[in-house]
Amino acid sequence: MDGIAGKEDDAMAIRLTDPVQTLPGIGPTRAKGLEKLGIATAGDLLWYFPKRYEDRRATFSIADAPVETAVCVPAMVAQRPVTSYIRQGLTVTKVRVVDDQGQMTLTFFNQTYVQSALKPGEEYIFFGKVEKDNGRVAMTNPVFEQKGRQRFTGRIMPVYPLTAGVSNNLIAGAVQRVLADCGRAVPERLPEGLRQERGLLPIGPALQYVHFPRTEGELEGARRRLVFEELYYFSLGLALMKTRRGMGQGAVCTGGQLEDYIATLPFPLTNAQRRALEEAAADMASGRAMNRLIQGDVGSGKTVVAAGCLYLAAKSGWQSALMAPTEILARQHYATLEPLLAQSGLRVGLLTGSMKAKEKRSVYEELELGLLDVVIGTHALLSEGVRFRRLGLVVTDEQHRFGVSQRAALAGKGGEGDFHPHVLVLSATPIPRTLALILYGDLEVSVMDELPPGRQSIDTFLISEDKRQRMYGFVRRQKAEGHQTYIVCPAVGDAAAPLQETELTPAQELKAVEAYAETLQKEVFPDLRIGLVHGKLSAKAKAAAMNAFASGETDVLVATTVIEVGVDVPNATLMVVENAERFGLSQLHQLRGRVGRGKEKSYCVLVSSNRSEETRKRLKALCSTNDGFKIAELDLELRGPGDFFGNRQHGLPQLRVADLAGDMRVLREAQEAAEALLAQDPDLQNPENRAILERVQELFAQNQDTLN
Ligand code: ADP
Ligand code: MG
């Protein structure tokens, strides 16, 4: 057993602020490893929480031990362990152990230290899965420790996230030592009154139980307390950011008549669109900087609402930027918004990474001189050269792809001092409300819960391989009726479920998409025109493929998820998704939203031969509803919030214990408590709330500028 055995009875008591190297068994190398995990001091260890637990309580004799579940088995080492060298890099150490009624063979791979660690005649507790074969009992790579000096067996064992050179026992042992020496010295960070009112554990026991719970009940109590604390400060910080930011001066946009803009549209607005637009317009006229999220299901018509804001800004003498996550989407927005806004006399430009340096330079110039009212683009808008003359509004589309920091970077091009451009965020992923609060806690939210009239729900079917020919027939029928089809194949990184042995490398996968498109063209649909678009194509080739599809030159577009967001080709009426099990529900809903955008009845066919109960349940859910919010809730429930946060830099403090899917109740409680406090002391300036304010500032250190 590796770890810190031997020195644990060191006499010197550890203090919370001591560097981890003060702990027995931790030298410079291990300290470096711990530092990588964000652990520098003894106190940090206490806040490094297990990611899960292993129940090592059940103890059995060799004869009674059940198979297939890991259990503890006390036994005596019967003979000296024997190590054989199988080949380079592989050793096998075997040892026989016995108890009153039975014997068992232990096998250790590449753990030669076992030879000296397990002493004949001594008793140990072995933890692992027992295998039984014809009366022979065995265990492979068990965890073990000496009987009577048990620390990691016979209990619920914490399992920590690890890094090279840092073992679980190292962390568990160190945490145990710190808890014993100074667990009681940890300062309480929740106000006493609040803690009691909410029936929460004091910090000492909470930390003890979160690392080493004796029962499920203790663990639950500890989590509740720690999650509450975390979400309480999180909510306070977000609320403060919101009020402080609200105090920033914004571009006053009172020029232009909304009705004039609406009159240029080819359709009347839905009530939801009108409401969202009016809310945004009120923000923009207020003199304070707007921070608004428009959340609307796919196809609810967010683009024209955003365009209304661009119009208001321009008519009041301000420039705007609209940032989209992909080049395809930026170009598409440009194609629809340029002619629309030109009717109102606005000058609209496009800026994307793939444009020639010369073209970019001329856009830079026009922006700086104020010759453009609106610029639509990709991340290229964040580049050094982009400067505005009078930036008053920043719109980011499909926000879930951008982080708070990027949004801020673009807004930062606006002006100086107390002035902030208005920020409008369009979110296509219908995010459950609670999650939206965390992700966008500093934003006001307009929900567009209505689709334009005449939209029909999209009929969705789940089929397996044996119906493939019928599906092809269906594609042909769309064509016969003058409509078009998307066929989406998963690309690398789309894996919702862990991939099996069949996993392809990016190159193989790309080949697979290309080969698939070719087969379709040659063997299945020789008479149809098949297009292909995927992430590895040049921007120009992508645009060409999209244009060909949009203008109806191609009948079928084979694509990877590059078309997931925003793409709008109303004549497409069928969406086929291959290997549908590889996608998350929300992602499938987004994909499905690429059809049903015109007046025609539209369909979505999910192809999956995956037989797992769970997968079929997920996919069937999609067949039964078109409500994006319901689907998002379900996705969150089934897969956790990882998808929403992903690897994104959202620029907010990291949540260490709270699980946003599971802890919604506590979130609500914490928010309530935070609101109650702020109702009494909106800026936390009251001396008795000093400690709370300091804690918030510490947590939101990255966002200092907005908190100070
Ligand atoms: P999303 O909210 O998914 O971004 P879009 O803004 O792309 O949706 O709009 C989807 C389609 O609906 C577009 O073709 C758009 O022109 C159309 N549309 C938007 N608003 C209306 C409306 N009020 N009536 C009819 N069609 C609309
Ligand atoms: Mg959109």
Residue 584 has what pLDDT?
80
* Amino acid at site 694: E
The verdict on the CB of residue 427 being under 6 Å from ligand 1 is no
Residue 402 has what pLDDT?
56
Residue 461 has what pLDDT?
96
CA of 306 to the centre of ligand 2 (A): 10
Which residues fall within 8 angstroms of residue 494, CB to CB, at 6 or more apart? 560, 561, 582, 583, 587
Residue 425 has what pLDDT?
87
Contact 644/400 with Cβ under 8 angstroms?
yes
Residue 440 has what pLDDT?
59
Helix, strand, coil % (nearest 5) of the chain?
40, 20, 40
Residue 6 has what pLDDT?
43
CA of 570 to the centre of ligand 1 (A): 10
Among candidate residues 534, 571, 550, 535, the one with its CA nearest the CA of residue 336: 550
- Give the nearest ligand 1 atom to 570 CA: 14
The verdict on the CB of residue 628 being under 6 Å from ligand 1 is no
- Write out pLDDT tens, residues 215-245: 999 999 999 999 999 889 988 887 887 666 5
The total number of residues written for the chain in this structure: 708
Beta bridge partners of 469: none
Q: Which residues of 175-196 are buried (b: 16+ CB within 10 A; e: fewer)?
A: bbbbbebbbeebeeebbeebbe
**β pairing state of 123-133 and 143-146:** antiparallel
CA distances (Å), origin 418, targets 287, 365, 382, 398, 651: 12, 26, 21, 27, 21
The count of C-alpha atoms lying within 13 angstroms of the C-alpha of 116, restricted to the half-sphere facing its C-beta, is 3
Question: What band does 613 get if pLDDT is binned at 50, 70 and 90?
Answer: confident
Alpha-carbon span 381 to 477, nearest angstrom: 43
CA of 598 to the centre of ligand 1 (A): 9
- Write out pLDDT tens, residues 185-226: 999 999 999 999 999 999 999 999 999 999 999 999 999 999
Residue with tokens 């008479």: 527
The verdict on the CB of residue 295 being under 6 Å from ligand 1 is no
Identify the DSSP state of 520: I
Residue 29 has pLDDT above 60, yes or no: yes
Residue 4 has pLDDT above 50, yes or no: no
| Other CB atoms within 10 A of residue 545 CB | 23
Which of residues 509 and 264 earns the better pLDDT score?
264
The verdict on the CB of residue 597 being under 6 Å from ligand 1 is yes
Residue 90 has pLDDT above 60, yes or no: yes
Residue 639 has what pLDDT?
60
Q: Which two tokens stand for residue 37?
A: 């995990």
Among candidate residues 437, 504, 466, the one with its CA nearest the CA of residue 295: 437
Residue 431 has pLDDT above 90, yes or no: no
Residue 383 has what pLDDT?
87
Burial of 62 from C-beta contacts in 10 A (0-12 / 13-18 / 19+): buried
Residue 73, SS3 per DSSP: strand
Residue with tokens 């395809």: 328
Name the residue at shortest CA distance from atom 9 of ligand 1.
301
Contact 183/204 with Cβ under 8 angstroms?
yes
CA of 448 to the centre of ligand 2 (A): 12
Which of residues 57 and 433 earns the better pLDDT score?
57
Contact 349/367 with Cβ under 8 angstroms?
yes
**β pairing state of 572-577 and 556-559:** unpaired
- Write out pLDDT tens, residues 43-57: 999 999 998 898 898
Q: What is the mean pLDDT of residues 322-345?
A: 92
Average pLDDT of the chain, as a whole number: 85
Contact 157/56 with Cβ under 8 angstroms?
yes
Question: Where does residue 681 fall: left (phi above 0), alpha (psi -120 to 50 degrees), or beta otherwise?
Answer: beta
Contact 124/100 with Cβ under 8 angstroms?
no
Name the residue at shortest CA distance from atom 22 of ligand 1.
452
Q: What is the mean pLDDT of residues 381-407?
A: 79
Residue 446 has pLDDT above 90, yes or no: no
Question: What band does 650 get if pLDDT is binned at 50, 70 and 90?
Answer: very low
| Other CB atoms within 10 A of residue 9 CB | 6
Alpha-carbon span 344 to 255, nearest angstrom: 13
Q: Which two tokens stand for residue 25?
A: 């068994």
The verdict on the CB of residue 56 being under 6 Å from ligand 1 is no
The verdict on the CB of residue 589 being under 6 Å from ligand 1 is no
SS (H, E, C) 589-625: HHHHCCCCCCCCCCEEEEECCCCCHHHHHHHHHHHHC
CA distances (Å), origin 515, targets 34, 372, 485, 518, 559: 47, 44, 18, 5, 12
CA of 460 to the centre of ligand 2 (A): 21
Opening angle at CA 594, ends 588 and 597, nearest 5: 135
Q: DSSP alpha helices (H): ranges in 87-246?
A: 114-117, 168-182, 192-197, 203-211, 216-246
Residue 675 has what pLDDT?
87
Question: What band does 627 get if pLDDT is binned at 50, 70 and 90?
Answer: confident
Which residues fall within 8 angstroms of residue 154, CB to CB, at 6 or more apart? 56, 57, 59, 72, 125
Q: Concatenated DSSP letters for 538-598?
A: -HHHHHHHHHHHHTTS-SEEEE-GGGSSS---TTEEEEEETTGGGS-HHHHHHHHTTSS-S
CA of 331 to the centre of ligand 2 (A): 12
CA of 303 to the centre of ligand 2 (A): 6
Among candidate residues 431, 359, 405, 389, the one with its CA nearest the CA of residue 590: 431
The verdict on the CB of residue 449 being under 6 Å from ligand 1 is no
What percent of the chain stands above pLDDT 70? 85
Alpha-carbon span 657 to 233, nearest angstrom: 13
- Give the nearest ligand 1 atom to 300 CA: 2
The verdict on the CB of residue 276 being under 6 Å from ligand 1 is no
Alpha-carbon span 342 to 613, nearest angstrom: 53
- Write out pLDDT tens, residues 548-567: 999 999 999 999 877 756 57
- Give the nearest ligand 1 atom to 302 CA: 2
Residue with tokens 């002391």: 681
- Give helix then strand counts, H and E, for the chain: 24, 22
What is the helix (H) or strand (E) element at residue 302, kind and residue range? helix 302-315
Ligand nearest to the CA of 449: 1
Ligand nearest to the CA of 303: 1
- Write out pLDDT tens, residues 472-530: 999 999 999 999 999 998 765 444 433 333 445 556 666 778 889 999 999 999 999 99
The verdict on the CB of residue 299 being under 6 Å from ligand 1 is yes
Opening angle at CA 240, ends 236 and 244, nearest 5: 175
Name the residue at shortest CA distance from atom 16 of ligand 1.
301
- Give the nearest ligand 1 atom to 268 CA: 23
Question: What band does 706 get if pLDDT is binned at 50, 70 and 90?
Answer: very low
Residue 68 has pLDDT above 60, yes or no: yes
- Give the nearest ligand 1 atom to 270 CA: 23
Residue 438 has what pLDDT?
61
Residue 239 has what pLDDT?
80
Q: What are phi and psi of 126, to 5 degrees?
A: -110, 130
The verdict on the CB of residue 303 being under 6 Å from ligand 1 is yes
E runs forming strands in 297-372: 319-323, 348-351
Burial of 469 from C-beta contacts in 10 A (0-12 / 13-18 / 19+): exposed
Alpha-carbon span 388 to 394, nearest angstrom: 12
Ligand nearest to the CA of 295: 1
CA of 367 to the centre of ligand 2 (A): 25
Residue 250 has what pLDDT?
84
Question: What band does 599 get if pLDDT is binned at 50, 70 and 90?
Answer: confident
Mutation probe of ligand 1 site: the residue of 264, 270, 304, 446 with most atoms within 8 A of C-beta: 304
The sign one gets for the Cα dihedral 623, 626, 632, 633 is negative
